[in-house]
Amino acid sequence: MKIFKTLTLLALMAGTGALHAADFSGNFSYEKFQRLNTPDTKTDFDDWAAISVTANGNPLNSTAHLDSDFRLYINNDNKFNFSVPEAYMEWTDRESRLSVGRQILNWNENEQYWLLATINPNQGFYLLGEKKEGLTGIQYDKRVTKNLSVSLFFSYLNIPSLNPSLDIKDGRISSNSEWVRLPPVATIIEGQEVPLYFDINMPNIAQDVLLKKSLGGRISYSWDKDRSEVSGYFLYKPEPNLRMNAEAYMNESLDRINVVANPIVNHHAVYGLQYRQRFGSTRMVMGFDVNDPNAKLGKDFEILDLGTLKENNKVFESEYFSIKPAYDKESYFHTSANLNRGSYILSLNYIHNITDNTRGSDDFYSETVKWKRAIGARARYYFDDFFNVMVDLKYDIERRDNILKAEANYMIFNRASFNVGMELIRSPKDTSYWAAYRANDAVYSSLKFLF
């Protein structure tokens, strides 16, 4: 998949080539990542150098923005990861806005905290990283009246999640990311362990991956000087991640099973309702959202329904093992309350998965849901302009998952910062999404220089 990522980078950077005279800012950092235990499968990437660059300019009477992140792993053949969360140009007036490029759609504000990727893909640099990557297309926002606004989104270019990337070499699947859930390396046949040898059937990048359509819209009504708002949206687009199916057969030498992976793009429909209310320094968001991977929207947006999954190689069965990706609908109720008092920030969150999902956590080809019924609390306290600490705890009431993240950040002369933190995961049930990562407890540190 390296070819796909390279083409994606060139396309996104070319789209903002007019930023040659823009104002650039960013940071360079050296980061260290240390595991506290040993998971069954892990990469050897423990430290890396990273650079983040943002740019703003005014080409063609527009306002252009670029946000990009690059990571070079140290002492591991100089492996390289990148991400372009946003790269767009926009034209605005008092009542409307038109943007072209890659931009985050903020149609579900609670998506980021719960690490969901229904609308915007997760960046995927960190297991618990909340940074998003936008969708690539055309967005038009119009304030129809004082209280009523509409937004439209259309795209003919699909750029899936860029991370964590996978690489197949000599029959083994590896990743540049320090966390990733890899497929098994062997299977059991008649009581004997037989190794799996992987290969990939590369799709036509342009036709099968990139040139996929998206269409969506949002309508909102606000009152009380925009302190109150109710909105609804519908978005039909390719899923953030490529689906991975496979076929398998015994090698002629009878010493291994050859597995040929087939990446495919599947469309899904995402829609929901949200209510937002501000009470002084407190902002509340309440919503209900649905993610349907079996939706269909006309012949021009044709996808596969449940009746044709098997005929189109979305389900595979052999005498060795079965691959049955689960195309389950997900429905979430969620709410959050955020208080910002300047010297400290508090956040209380709740999410409830209303639909039953049958897929398990041990299937490489389709993951179980991240949350069943969970609460989350985050607090950040600023001792002064140079030193702050943060604690974030997410707890799944039904699965008893505990996800704890804490960090401290110290600014040095306004031009550099030192950050240290930890991530602790407790997941007692094997059916949980987080069970695959419960041995990924880690401490991390970084030294960052601003420019």
Domain boundaries, the chain: 2-450
Residue 79's alpha-carbon distances to 3, 131, 163, 166, 398, in angstroms, are 14, 21, 13, 12, 39
Q: Which CATH superfamily is domain 2-450 in?
A: Porin (2.40.160.10)
Q: What angle do CA 62, 52, 14 make, to 5 degrees?
A: 45
pTM above 0.95, yes or no: no
**Nearest-CA neighbor of 214 among 102, 106, 307?**
102
CB 121 within 8 A of CB 161: yes
Task: Give CA–CA dist 406/423, Å, rounded.
Answer: 7
Q: Spell out the residues 6+ positions from residue 112 whose beta carbon is closer than 8 angstroms to its own.
A: 130, 132
Give pLDDT, residue 359. 65
Give the burial string for 80-96 (b: 16+ CB within 10 Å, else e): ebbbbbbbbbbeeeeee
What DSSP state is assigned to residue 170?
T
| Alpha helices (runs of H) in 280-361, residue ranges in sequence order | none
Give pLDDT, residue 10. 55
Could you read off the pLDDT of 285-341 as tens digits, one per residue? 999 999 998 888 766 555 444 444 444 445 556 665 556 667 788 999 999 999 999
Give pLDDT, residue 231. 98
In the structure encoding, which two tokens stand for residue 443, read together?
């401490």
Give pLDDT, residue 9. 57
CB 354 within 8 A of CB 331: yes
Q: Per this entry, what is the length of the chain?
A: 451
Q: Count helices and strands (H / E) in the chain.
A: 1, 26
Residue 436, SS3? helix
Tell me how crowded residue 112 is: count the other CB atoms within 10 A of its CB: 16
Residue segments in the chain with a per-residue pLDDT below the cut of 50: 303-313
Give pLDDT, residue 17. 55
